[in-house]
A = this chain, B = another copy of it.
Amino acid sequence: MMNRPALTALAATLPATVPFVGPEAQERQRGRPFRARIGANESGFGPSPAVKAAIAEAAGDVWKYADPENHDLKAALAAHLGVEPENITVGEGIDGLLGLIVRLFVEPGQPVVTSLGAYPTFNYHVAGFGGHLVSVPYLDDRENLQGLADAARRENAPLVYLSNPDNPMGTWWEAAEISRLIEALPETTLLVLDEAYGETAPASAIPPLDVARPNVLRMRTFSKAYGLAGLRCGYAIGEAETIRAFDKVRNHFGVNRIAQTAALAALADQDYLFSVIGSVAACRDRIAAIAEANGLKPLPSATNFVTFDCGGDSAFALKIMQALIARDVFVRKPMAPVLDRCIRVSVGPDAAIDLFEQMLPDALTAARS
């Protein structure tokens, strides 16, 4: 056997996996495209027309490296949020930033606290840097704030992950409860507060920004309500010294030039954002009504998707998901115990939801047979 370069001891233990199989891979396997793409919590309402125009206009400038300091975007975000540019870092989506956070704050073997069934990509990064995942079960389909705080204290964890509003359940906590969690955490525990769905949540769910506090990072993205998932542009808001740490390890030229341009244009078009938020809310209601009309139980949602309890076990929910996929409707489902009785449907334009409405009764029949 030929000798070969050795992976690090840690890398050798890691599987070569994808946290999510994309709809394109499923389409290749199926041999035909989906007719409704409502499984990945994308915004089927698309980006603002101003964003599309900005992208087309910037197409000729792609020969230039983007500004590695992301200066203009950070300045615009800071003005929008009422903080300073030094309180913001921009990265290749929240996914990319989560990897950097784990790398910066977690030594191999250290415990990291999250909810059982919460964001798989965070778990992927924790494993990727040798952290040890401590998972707290959901309570009544919401993340268990007291349980997370207790686990963080007990484990003396450097990191706690919380998504509010929550993915994959769509549920949320009010800001006062989140603030109570923050107060309950050790000062040496960094709370990664993922607010990817913050724009579609009630204002009462989002605590005020407090950039004096070193142990909270607020994670935001242009992937959801702004409709730029394919461009990979997320940001973290926090205390200046915590934010500065990203400059130690980030891929400085990593945020694509078109992403920066599009994010600036998206941020400037708040009217469009508000119209999308309205469409999202209306579509959530419609998805919930469709679920109820079919005897399923939708959970309350502050996100751009609706998760519903299919009233059976994991195998039953899986069959429904597969039956929808077989009918060209791309949806997903939670995989962790208890949550896995549900499936999850993202909002989208009428045509996509029409197809879901049309196919769901058949899919249920198929799943029950």
Contacts and interface: CB of A to CB of B under 8 A. Distances in A.
Interface of A: 2-9, 11, 14-20, 22, 24-25, 28, 37, 40, 42-47, 51-52, 55-56, 59-69, 71, 92-93, 95-96, 99, 103-107, 121, 128, 158-159, 186-190, 214-215, 223, 227-232, 241-242, 244-245, 247-249, 251-259, 262
Contacts of A257: 230-231
A11 to B, nearest CB: 5
Contact of A251 (B56, B68, B99, B186): B99
A38 to B, nearest CB: 12
A253 B99 CA distance: 12
Contacts of A230: 61-66, 256-258
Contacts of A16: 244-245, 247-248
A65 B8 CA distance: 31
Q: Which 6 A-B pairs have the closest CB atoms?
A: A230-B257, A16-B247, A3-B187, A4-B214, A56-B56, A55-B59
B253 A93 contact: yes
Given A7-B104, A18-B252, A45 B63 contact: yes
A363 to B, nearest CB: 23
Given A3-B187, A11-B105, 19 more contacts: A4-B187, A4-B188, A5-B158, A7-B105, A15-B248, A19-B252, A22-B69, A25-B68, A25-B71, A42-B63, A42-B65, A45-B63, A47-B59, A47-B62, A62-B231, A63-B230, A64-B230, A65-B223, A121-B252
A170 to B, nearest CB: 19
A71 B249 contact: no
A63 B92 contact: no
A321 B252 CA distance: 24
A257 B93 CA distance: 12
| Majority secondary structure, A binding face | loop
Contacts of A6: 105, 158, 188
23 contacts: A4-B241, A5-B159, A5-B188, A6-B158, A7-B104, A8-B107, A11-B248, A18-B252, A20-B68, A25-B71, A40-B64, A51-B59, A52-B59, A55-B62, A62-B231, A64-B230, A65-B223, A66-B230, A66-B232, A96-B251, A128-B248, A230-B258, A232-B256
Copy count, this protein chain = 2
A96 B95 CA distance: 14
Contacts of A4: 187-188, 214-215, 241-242
Contacts of A43: 63
Contacts of A158: 5-6
Nearest to A107: B8
A47 B59 CA distance: 9
A290 B43 CA distance: 53
A229 B256 CA distance: 9
B22 A67 contact: yes
B228 A62 contact: yes
A337 B24 CA distance: 50
Contacts of A104: 7-8, 11
Contact of A55 (B24, B56, B71, B247): B56
A355 to B, nearest CB: 17
Contacts of A65: 22, 40, 42, 223, 229-230
A209 B71 CA distance: 40
